[in-house]
Amino acid sequence: MMSGIPDVVCCVATAPAWLAVPPNTVVVAAGVAAVGVAAGVIGSLAVLRKRALAGDAAAHAALAGVALAFLATGRRDLPVLLGGGLLAALAALGVLVLLRRYTRTRDDAATAIVLSVSFGCGIALVAGLTSRGVPDAAGLEHFLLGHTAALTVADAALLATVSAAAVVVAVVGLKEATLVAFDPGFAAASGWPVAAIDYCLVGLVAAMVIVGLPAAGAVLVTALVVIPPVAARQWTDRVPTMLLLAGLIGLAAAVFGVAASALVPRLATGPLVVLAAATLLAVSLLAAPERGLLPRAWRRRSARRGAA
Amino acid sequence: MSAPLLEFHDVTVAYGRRPVLWNIDLTIDHACLFGIIGPNGAGKSTLLKAALGLVPTTGGTVTFFGRPLADGRRRVGYVPQRETVDWDFPVTVGDVVLMGTYARLGWFRRPGRGERRLARECLARVGLEDVADRQIGRLSGGQQQRVFLARALAQEADVYLLDEPLAGVDARSQETIFEVLAALRDSGRLVVVVHHDLRTAAAWFDRVALIDRRLVATGPTATVLTPENLERTYAGQIELLDELGRAVAARRRTP
Amino acid sequence: MFFGDSKTGAAMGHALSRALVLAVLATVVVVPTTSQETAAWGDEPPRPVLATTTIVADLVRQVGGDRVVVDCLMGPGVDPHSYRATPRDADRLAAARLVVASGLHLEGKLASLLARLARRVPTVAVADALPRERLLPVADGLFDPHVWFDARLWSEGVPAVVAALVKLDPAGRAAYEARGAEYTRRLEALDGRLRERLASIPRQRRVLVTAHDAFRYFGRAYDVEVVGVQGTSTESEAGLADINRLVDLLVDRGIPAVFVETSVSDRNVAALREGARARGREVALGGRLYSDSLGGPGSGAETLESVLEANVETMVAALAGGR
């Protein structure tokens, strides 16, 4: 048994060679798959807590953070830029939570305000940088759309690490997150620090969104945080199963999207991943046994026939 | 002399400049079935929420067993109003009842066999053991209320606060719920219920408090639910008072 | 709302809002009109000319000499494909005596602004003046705009600039025509030198792999095979199939080096090198090429001629070496 393990590792490591899969495809698939799984899991918690749009706000705020990080350090390494993006996203989400607690602003209005103001700051900063011809400022704007096809091994490793950590946190804190999402009044009355748990959840969403930026870009990563959970919800009535399914759907979307982009030239990878996720959502909405539109229509018809 | 189970001392709650509760002084020192009665908008739910720290008070203190809530949250169980929950949430009846054990488990520990057994027992006490695996949206109004009662039972508390547990509930479920509450009182626990229906209030509660933003009267049910007190509380709702007067008189006649 | 609920408070709040609106309107109307005062000063030499990219700015300087002072909208290192005009840019363009653009949609996001202004401000787009049959089509009636990399082709744009300068400053006709002819000669000589230099790279190694398709004219003129990861515009995102195809090319043809560009993100090129490395082929980073922009002051690459020579030296050093 023990001697068999090195052989297995060797086999898997050289799999790309004997499967004839190009190495870039493997790297991109691994990176995007990691994001897909984690976004599905974390996104499920956010959707249950009715904070699905927090991901959108985080993604748009991140642009300002990326520009500021570049301004402050002059460096373009991914961890530096993403660090700046994360800080900006956390600040924006903090403002969002505060707006909801201490003013009468409603959820959707508060999200729209935070999203557009921080995004505006980000665009202004990036435009200012590029128009001044700051060297190396080229490409900061592409955080909006991402360059999935150009993921390097280092990028994929970062994505995999953060995704794994986020999933672990979600699983460990699942009971607390479910409780607060379902009945925050009861949770508060039982002594749970609901505000702190909310901040943690929103922070996790921000981390996932930031890390997903190079993979899918700001506009598309929100889709990965929202679509797999909604699709998963159609198939199950239990929270742990929903998280698992959402992770799997995110993974499937990543694999299909990357595969399609590797086969057809001149097609950007990020959007294809989102299209794959949307297709899986459409299938779920139509065909899921309990909640799907088609099975429900069929049940109605057979009930009517039975009554007649 | 032991501390009162629940004491409101000069509690005032205001939203902006509008006072909702005003100088409430209320002491409950024995285990009983205690009703909080009053018209709509009288601040009854707010009184419970203030006790639980869910709304901020602009004055006064609330103590449980003579201590602030933070010292003894485990001993206080809460059943909120039914509408505050998303019925489409992917949890089953059993999942919700199990949530009553979470506070005892603490951070990150998962419910084990002991907790699951307790949850099953609580479900049985409210008569819902058959639907343990059903998603909560697929229950009737009465069943939904009993789920939250079972969750509170799973908290194994000494004081229970329930906010309109019988609103919109069918008669049979009402009976079941009342029996569970009475059993709790008989086992030495304080059960405080915000209640909307004066007729059943006269029949069920040992002691009541009449609230209309201020405390109008409190004490044993028969003593408190007099026509004068009711008129002071429900000023203007005349048909109600007539009916109530009859109900209260009927209660007085039966020993 | 600041003044409470009383009626007088409401009236005061009302009046304040109206005063605010009037003040804003006044600012918007007054400020632009003051900029028209500056239009009068360009009547004696040196004449001000506004160019869009550093490359056309260089062209205008070469032809105009001391008789013009050239201001440039985009600085060195700026990507003209994605450059968006700021309101200040729009003011500068509107107030200019002559605007010189590169053309053929290189300044993709300025196109509508330039078209609108062309009715009031004299505008010349250098590449638009070139004969269509000498241009490389991209798609749908559009042409590749990177014409300056073919020195001889770029010199055919000189007459258009000369004509525009003469119109702006008729007194300088002789000077402009002389300088124009001189510059054309220099470009043709440069063209020959570049071709000779590049011939020193063996044919099968003469492959230029860069971040985007900026060098097609270069490749056609100097017999170099060029491959870009992104398309002709940096606005399109690279696809995975394209990256894989390029990695195959690098490995199968044994290409020794790839190049990054000064105004384009280098992430795609990094991914190519990693893919090749995973297949056992070490591809060097040949260096940084100037593509859509000249170098800044002090870089040694402030003119098109120096940029072309610098680029070719970088390529020769990376590709010709006996490996």
Q: Determine the Cα–Cα distance for residues A148 and A258; give it in Å rounded to an integer.
A: 9
Q: Rounded to an integer, what is the distance from CA A56 to the centroid of its chain?
A: 10
Domain final residue pick, C159, C191, C223: C191
pLDDT for C261 beyond 70: yes
Q: Say whether C279 and A151 touch across the interface (CB within 8 A).
A: no
pLDDT reported for residue C35: 44
Contacts of C245 in chain A (CB under 8 A): 265
pLDDT reported for residue C12: 59
Phi and psi at residue A116, in whole multiples of 5°?
-70, -40
All structural domains of chain B, each given as residue ranges with its CATH number in brackets, are: 6-253 (3.40.50.300)
Q: What are the structure tokens assigned to A153, written together? A: 């091994």
All structural domains of chain A, each given as residue ranges with its CATH number in brackets, are: 21-307 (1.10.3470.10)
pLDDT reported for residue A95: 85
pLDDT reported for residue C29: 54
Q: Say whether C267 and A135 touch across the interface (CB within 8 A).
A: no
Q: Determine the Cα–Cα distance for residues C173 and A201; give it in Å rounded to an integer.
A: 71
- Identify whether the C-beta of residue C130 lies closer than 8 Å to the C-beta of residue C156: yes
Do residue C150 and residue C227 come from a single domain? no
Contacts of residue A122, defined as CB under 8 A and 6 or more positions apart, other chains included, come to A60, A61, A62, A63, A64, A65, A66, A67, A88
Neighbours of chain A (3+ CB pairs under 8 A): B, C
pLDDT band at B184 (very low <50, low <70, confident <90, very high): very high
Give A179→chain C minimum CA distance, Å.
40
Asked whether residue C120 is assigned to any structural domain, the reply reads yes
Do residue C176 and residue C290 come from a single domain? no
Phi and psi at residue A2, in whole multiples of 5°?
-65, -40
Asked whether residue C62 is assigned to any structural domain, the reply reads yes
pLDDT for B128 beyond 50: yes
Domain final residue pick, C156, C191, C226: C191
- Identify whether the C-beta of residue B155 lies closer than 8 Å to the C-beta of residue B186: no
Q: B99: phi > 0 → left, psi -120 to 50 → alpha, else beta; which? A: alpha
Do residue C227 and residue C83 come from a single domain? no
Domain final residue pick, C163, C191, C219: C191
Do residue C290 and residue C209 come from a single domain? yes
Residue B72: burial class (beta carbons within 10 Å; 0-12, 13-18, 19+)? middle
Do residue C131 and residue C155 come from a single domain? yes
Element (H, E) at C178: helix C173-199
Mutate to test the interface with B, among A44, A48, A176, A190 (most CBs of B within 10 A): A190
Asked whether residue C228 is assigned to any structural domain, the reply reads yes
* Residue among B68, B89, B55, B40 nearest B194 (CA): B40
Contacts of residue C195, defined as CB under 8 A and 6 or more positions apart, other chains included, come to C221, C222, C223
pLDDT tens figures, A7-30: 444 444 555 554 578 889 999 999
pLDDT reported for residue A109: 84
Q: Is C84 on the interface with A (CB under 8 A)?
A: yes
Q: Say whether A238 and B91 touch across the interface (CB within 8 A).
A: yes
pLDDT reported for residue C1: 41
pLDDT reported for residue C294: 86
How many CB atoms are located within 10 Å of the residue B74 CB?
A: 14
Q: Is C17 on the interface with A (CB under 8 A)?
A: no
Q: Say whether A145 and C274 touch across the interface (CB within 8 A).
A: no
Do residue C227 and residue C311 come from a single domain? yes
pLDDT tens figures, C234-247: 767 778 888 898 89
Number of domains comprising chain C = 3
pLDDT band at A216 (very low <50, low <70, confident <90, very high): low
pLDDT band at C213 (very low <50, low <70, confident <90, very high): confident
Q: Is C86 on the interface with A (CB under 8 A)?
A: yes
The rounded radius of gyration (Å) of the Cα atoms in chain A is 21
Q: Please list the alpha-helical segments (H only) found in C36-128.
A: 54-64, 87-95, 111-117
Looking at per-residue pLDDT, the higher value among C83 and A140 belongs to: C83
The CATH number that applies at residue C287 is: 3.40.50.1980
Q: Determine the Cα–Cα distance for residues C294 and C72; give it in Å rounded to an integer.
A: 12
pLDDT reported for residue B172: 83
Q: Say whether A22 and C296 touch across the interface (CB within 8 A).
A: no
Q: Determine the Cα–Cα distance for residues A185 and B49; give it in Å rounded to an integer.
A: 9
Q: Determine the Cα–Cα distance for residues A57 and A77; give it in Å rounded to an integer.
A: 24
Residues of chain A with a CB closer than 8 angstroms to some CB in chain B = 48, 172-173, 175-176, 178-179, 181-183, 185-186, 188-192, 233, 236-239, 242
Asked whether residue C34 is assigned to any structural domain, the reply reads no
Do residue C53 and residue C145 come from a single domain? yes
Do residue C225 and residue C302 come from a single domain? yes
pLDDT for C197 beyond 60: yes
Q: Determine the Cα–Cα distance for residues C300 and C86; give it in Å rounded to an integer.
A: 29
pLDDT reported for residue A18: 47
Contacts of A137 in chain C (CB under 8 A): 77
pLDDT reported for residue A164: 94
Walk across the sheet containing B33-37 and list its strands: B76-79, B159-163, B190-194, B33-37, B207-212, B214-220
Do residue C45 and residue C185 come from a single domain? yes
How many CB atoms are located within 10 Å of the residue A155 CB?
A: 26
Do residue C135 and residue C171 come from a single domain? yes
Report CA-CA distances (Å) from B45 to B48, B87, B147.
Answer: 5, 21, 20
Asked whether residue C51 is assigned to any structural domain, the reply reads yes
- Helix (H/G/I), strand (E/B), else coil: B79: strand
Chain C residue closest in CA terms to A267: C239
Q: Determine the Cα–Cα distance for residues B210 and B224; give it in Å rounded to an integer.
A: 8
Asked whether residue C185 is assigned to any structural domain, the reply reads yes
Chain C residue closest in CA terms to A141: C82
Q: Say whether A237 and B110 touch across the interface (CB within 8 A).
A: no
Q: Is C210 on the interface with A (CB under 8 A)?
A: no
pLDDT band at A166 (very low <50, low <70, confident <90, very high): very high
Q: Say whether A264 and C82 touch across the interface (CB within 8 A).
A: no
Do residue C186 and residue C204 come from a single domain? no
pLDDT for C11 beyond 80: no
pLDDT for C323 beyond 50: no
Q: Determine the Cα–Cα distance for residues C295 and A4; give it in Å rounded to an integer.
A: 58
Looking at per-residue pLDDT, the higher value among A221 and B195 belongs to: B195
Q: Are strands B6-15 and B59-64 parallel, antiparallel or unpaired?
A: antiparallel
Q: Are strands C47-51 and C99-101 parallel, antiparallel or unpaired?
A: parallel
Do residue C52 and residue C176 come from a single domain? yes
Phi and psi at residue A184, in whole multiples of 5°?
-65, -30
- Identify whether the C-beta of residue A114 lies closer than 8 Å to the C-beta of residue A125: no
Q: Is C80 on the interface with A (CB under 8 A)?
A: no
What residue numbers bound the domain in which C303 lies?
200-319
Average pLDDT over residues A127-153: 69
Asked whether residue C33 is assigned to any structural domain, the reply reads no
Q: Is C245 on the interface with A (CB under 8 A)?
A: yes
A and C: number of Cβ contacts within 8 A: 121
Asked whether residue C295 is assigned to any structural domain, the reply reads yes
